[in-house]
Amino acid sequence: MIKVNERIGVFICHCGLNIAGTVNVEKVAEEISKCKGVVHAEHYIFMCSDPGQEKVRQTIKEKKLDGVIVAACSPDLHEHTFRSAAASAGLNPYRVEIANIREWVAWPHEGKGEEATEKAIKIIDAAIEKLRDNMALLPVEVPVTKKVLVIGGGIAGIQAALDCADAGLDVYLVERGQSIGGKMAQLSETFPTLDCPQCIETPKMTAVAQHPKIHLYAYSEIEDVNGYVGNFKVKIKRKPTFVDWDKCTGCRECMKVCPVKVPSEYERGIADRKAIYISFPQAVPNKAVIDAENCIRMKYGKGCGLCAKNCPSKAITFEGNGSIEEVKVGAIIVATGFDVMGVNSFGEYGYGKYKDVLDALQFERLLAPAGPTSGKVLRPSDGREPKEVVFVQCVGSRDPDNWHPYCSKICCMYIAKQAMLYKHAVPDGQAYVFYIDIRADGKGYEEFVHRAMTEDGVIYLRGKVGKIVEEGDKLRVYGVDTLTGRNVVIDADLVVLATAVEPSKGIDDLARKLRIQLDQDGWLSEAHLKLRPLESLTSGIFIAGAAQYIKDITDTVSQASGAAAKAIALLSRDKLEKEPIVATVDEEVCVGCGNCVSICTYNAVELDPELKVARVNEGLCEGCGACAATCPSGAIQLINNTKKQIFEMITALTRRD
């Protein structure tokens, strides 16, 4: 770049008293005006305001500025604002630099006015040095594939898929189980309306199956993800079903004759399924799969085969019909849901050895009208109706020392519901709930819990349960009631534990493939908890539902539609603009060592096999600069953040005493 008659304008913001209260902005303006190339230096109360931005625009035009520094708050907040202002006045937006004198100077050094002022001057000086070598850049344009991938076929995934498909986008919905529906399909009734979940979910499930724009990949997993926002390439692995789904009609004759019984995942172990199965009556797709680990024919290569003999459509092949398909999408929505901890983890409650200590999801299956007991509440051990049922909340939640520090959010409501439903099923039974707090913060939730207490006579005891011990055919529950200060011992017939929820198993593998982040508990990280809860930190990948953090169905459906809206907005354009701050390689200096290739999290650098130099894919590069830091010769550098610029900034920061 030929620098002829540099004309830099510097605008120093007071930010009300945020900056001006500590930094002497007048002095700063005076000192900065002496810097080489600075033809304009002023200070103003709120640069981000309309008049403030207008100042920038006007000065650019009047004084023919070729560079602008705005000394104000963090660039995170207003870099975009000032770049747009400059662009509208005809100055390339990348000739604008922000000097952070609020978060870096005024706020940490409150009360130290003199030193803060000096520091502000140094920081602005350094920004000017960086600006001198900034190149004028044009955004990188990438084309867009107007298709969406939804990972997870629970209510979140279903809703998101329907919204996107209704907006005219093709949707690939990938679910690893045999059927979509998720946890909602396992519930008995939903709080607070006590709706039948299968009744309200199945219309949506069939809508998914029938929607012309939705391509359902059930019994499938994500194998590999490559690419970048607008241009993802995804490999979907269809797991082998050993049944030809083009022929299978879902008549379930095979299930009738199969001799093998395996604890059913859908029934959560309360009942069994067969080695060939369809998860539940309303399953979508209504197609059978063979569990090869338990099927006799699949395990030994011969024998049995009764299902195939009885299949009227001759659909059962026993042949490995797995495949990998590659699809191209522009956006991805991750809706992988959650898991519930089993009772086996809790030693104080019997390690799962007590047949009548259940987790809440198992109890749902007992309560479910279409469940293994047809809605009758019966003890798993002897099939008798329990007359004393104890519900324990917060098992494994809110417990940073032993288990999870977080609150599992939905348990207070579902325990109230389960206690109520138990009372409806066994009117002469007694339900006890041990709780620490009651969290009933939704619409109609407080009233619902109140109803359980007053109308259904559920006894709420504020206290924890120390342990449960088998006493004959009863379960002796040792608890405490902190409101009266007394120990409570209940000989229960059945105990239901509200075990903690956890992110779905396998989420860390998937997150690695997608290159999105998880927080320390394994929930998907959002870009900003308050303002951007539906976007992951990776462009083009959105998150929805319990995978982001456990939530009830209302919130899940809201988030799903929100994520869908984001995907629709992203893909509404034909081209996407990417920040042009990317890495470039000086091929004469590059020796092809591959350090940058190894270090790049975005797989944006490759080695040209012939010339043995590194090449950057500008579409994939996110401008993080890790490659520039790792290159020993300085061959790969970040545009507008070159080593020379950084050295000049250091010089500027250290040359004033």
Partner 1 sequence: MRGALLETGEETRRTINNFLSRLLQEKMVDAILAPIETSTGLVTPGFVTNPEKTHIIDVLAPVIPGVAMATVVSQITHEKPVEKRLGVILKPCDIRALVELVKFQQVNLENIYLIGVDCYGTYPVIKYKEILEKGNLPVENVFEALNKGGETEFRDSCKVCLNPVPIYSDLCIGYIGIEKGKLFIEARTEKGEEFLRKLGFKLLELKERNRAVAEILRERETKREKYFGEAEKELNGMEGINSFFEDCIACHNCMEVCPICFCKECFFDSDRYSYVNQNYLEWNPLEGTVPMLQAKVQFHVGRAVHMASSCVHCGLCEQACPQDIALYKLFGLIARNIQRIFNYTPGRSVEEKPPVQEFKEEELKEFIG
Partner 2 sequence: MEKVMVSTDILTDEEISRLYQCVSCGKCLVECPVFKATGVTHTLPLPKSRLLRYIVDKSRGKISYFFGPQPIESYRLNQGVPTVYECTLCGACTEQCKFEVKPHTLWYKFRALMNMAGYIPEPLKHVKGGFTETKNPYSLPEDMRSYWVKKEKLIGKASVKRNARVIYFVGCTTAFKRVNRGIAGSMARILNYVGEDWSLLGEKEWCCGAPWLMIGDIERAREHAVHNVEAIEETGAEEVVVTCATCYRAIKQEYEELIDGKLRFKVLHAVELIKRYIDEGKINLAPTDIKLTYHDPCELSRLSGVIDEPRQILRMVSGEYREMEKNKENGFCCGGGGFLQATNNDVRLKVAQIRVNQAVKEGAQYLVSACPSCKMALVDGAKELKSDVKVVDIVELVAQLLGLSSK
Q: For binding to partner 2 (CB under 8 A), which residues are involved?
A: 587-588, 611
Out of 599, 606, 615, 617, name the contact with partner 1 by CB under 8 A: 599
Between CA 6 and CA 11 the distance in angstroms is: 16
**389 vs 628, beta carbon nearer partner 1:** 628
643 binds, among partner 2, partner 1, none (CB under 5 to 8 A by kind): partner 1
Segment interacting with partner 1 (CB under 8 A) among 76-84, 178-186, 252-260, 585-593: 585-593
Contact call for residue 517 and partner 1 (CB under 8 A): no
Give me the least distance between CB of 613 and partner 2, in Å please: 8
**DSSP secondary structure letter of residue 458:** P
Contact call for residue 592 and partner 1 (CB under 8 A): yes
Out of 291, 595, 621, 636, name the contact with partner 1 by CB under 8 A: 595
Give me the least distance between CB of 587 and partner 2, in Å please: 7
**447 vs 608, beta carbon nearer partner 2:** 608
**569 vs 589, beta carbon nearer partner 1:** 589
Segment interacting with partner 1 (CB under 8 A) among 377-385, 412-420, 440-448, 646-654: 646-654
Give me the least distance between CB of 654 and partner 1, in Å please: 5
Segment interacting with partner 1 (CB under 8 A) among 15-23, 108-116, 437-445, 582-590: 582-590
**99 vs 652, beta carbon nearer partner 1:** 652
**387 vs 612, beta carbon nearer partner 1:** 612
**207 vs 593, beta carbon nearer partner 1:** 593
428 binds, among partner 2, partner 1, none (CB under 5 to 8 A by kind): none
Cβ–Cβ < 8 Å for 214, 171: yes
Cα angle for residues 282, 288, 292 (degrees, 5° grid): 135
Between CA 68 and CA 54 the distance in angstroms is: 13
Contact call for residue 509 and partner 1 (CB under 8 A): no
How many helices and strands (H and E) does the chain possess?
18, 32
What DSSP string runs through 119-174?
A: HHHHHHHHHHHHHHTPPP--PEEEE---EEEEE--SHHHHHHHHHHHHTT-EEEEE
Contact call for residue 641 and partner 1 (CB under 8 A): no
Contact call for residue 108 and partner 1 (CB under 8 A): no
Per DSSP, the three-state class of 23 is coil
Cβ–Cβ < 8 Å for 339, 547: no
Cα angle for residues 289, 560, 157 (degrees, 5° grid): 10
Give me the least distance between CB of 588 and partner 2, in Å please: 5
Q: How far is CA 516 from the centre of its chain?
A: 8
Q: How far is CA 567 from the centre of its chain?
A: 14
Question: What count of other Cβ atoms lies within 10 Å of the Cβ of residue 399?
Answer: 14
Q: Give the side-chain half-sphere CA count within 13 A for 490.
A: 25
Between CA 265 and CA 339 the distance in angstroms is: 12
Q: Give the side-chain half-sphere CA count within 13 A for 81.
A: 19
Contact call for residue 522 and partner 1 (CB under 8 A): no
Out of 351, 384, 594, 608, name the contact with partner 1 by CB under 8 A: 594
Scan residues 126-155 and list those touching partner 1 (CB under 8 A).
none
Give me the least distance between CB of 609 and partner 1, in Å please: 10
State the burial class of residue 325 (Cβ atoms within 10 Å of its Cβ: 0-12, 13-18, 19+). Answer: middle
β-strand pairing of 338-340 with 272-274: unpaired
- CA-nearest of 198, 216, 36, 239 to 132 is 36
- CA-nearest of 326, 436, 425, 427 to 391 is 436
**541 vs 636, beta carbon nearer partner 2:** 636
Between CA 360 and CA 453 the distance in angstroms is: 19
Contact call for residue 572 and partner 1 (CB under 8 A): no
151 binds, among partner 2, partner 1, none (CB under 5 to 8 A by kind): none
The radius of gyration computed from the CA coordinates of the chain, to the nearest angstrom, equals: 31
587 binds, among partner 1, partner 2, none (CB under 5 to 8 A by kind): partner 2
Out of 590, 604, 620, 621, name the contact with partner 1 by CB under 8 A: 590
Size of the site for partner 1 (CB under 8 A): 25
Residue pointed to by tokens 């023919």:
64
Cβ–Cβ < 8 Å for 240, 329: no
Name the strands in the sheet holding 220-228, side by side, starting at the edge strand that comes first in the sequence: 220-228, 231-238, 323-329
Segment interacting with partner 1 (CB under 8 A) among 180-188, 245-253, 342-350, 639-647: 639-647
Segment interacting with partner 1 (CB under 8 A) among 141-149, 154-162, 167-175, 642-650: 642-650
Contact call for residue 654 and partner 1 (CB under 8 A): yes
Give me the least distance between CB of 600 and partner 2, in Å please: 23
Cβ–Cβ < 8 Å for 280, 201: no
**312 vs 594, beta carbon nearer partner 1:** 594
What are the phi and psi torsion angles at 325 (to 5°)? -120, 140
Give me the least distance between CB of 112 and partner 2, in Å please: 41
Between CA 514 and CA 317 the distance in angstroms is: 34
Give me the least distance between CB of 614 and partner 2, in Å please: 14
656 binds, among partner 1, partner 2, none (CB under 5 to 8 A by kind): partner 1
Contact call for residue 507 and partner 1 (CB under 8 A): no
Interface residues toward partner 1, by CB under 8 A: 588-595, 598-599, 607, 612, 630, 632-635, 643-644, 647, 651, 654-657
